[in-house]
Amino acid sequence: MTQFICRSNEEMNRVVLTVILIAVTFSLGSCEQKKPDSISNDRVTPVIVTAVTLGEQEILTSEGYLEQDIYASADTNRGKKLSMQCRICHTLEKGGVAIVGPNLFGIFGKTAASVPDYSYSEVLEASNFIWTPRALDAWLAKPFAFLP
């Protein structure tokens, strides 16, 4: 069993905030969409967000995102459960080792493919986007469409 020792309360707070933000992002990304009040025969083509079409994003720290209403009011218990799926491939603690994927601690606000000592695909290395909740939602929704 892996042990994680925090050197300070501030470090522990950052670990907890990062885990909660990732969990909340997963939780929000998996919410069901409401059905429209009326049924239309018109087909709507879903918009697929890609690394190229992300547009201008607000870049904040994990703590900054958690202060926003959408994250502050999210179901963190559901998010914690959903984040267990992430732990199959990733560690979420500061200084955690790469498993199948890189460690995700403090990933928000950082350029993609920037975790040291991890071998990324050429496509991800060339992508040059910043990890935000919007980018993570798009990645999780359709990873192969996000970075074709």
Residue ranges of the domains in the chain?
9-31+50-141
pLDDT averaged per 10 residues, the chain (length 148): 53 65 63 52 65 85 86 90 94 94 92 93 92 92 88
Model confidence, pTM: 0.65
pLDDT for residue 94: 92
pLDDT at 57: 85
pLDDT for 41 equals 55
pLDDT of res. 119: 95
pLDDT for the residue 66? 83
Mutual angle of helices 9-29 and 133-141, in 10-degree steps = 50
Q: May I ask the CATH architecture of the domain 9-31+50-141?
A: Orthogonal Bundle (1.10)
Q: What is the per-residue pLDDT for 148?
A: 80
Residue 128 has a pLDDT of: 86
pLDDT of residue 1: 44
Per-residue model confidence (pLDDT) at position 2: 46
pLDDT (0 to 100) of residue 117: 87
| DSSP character string of 45-96 | PPPPP-TTT--S-----HHHHHTSHHHHTS-HHHHHHHHHHHTTT---STTP
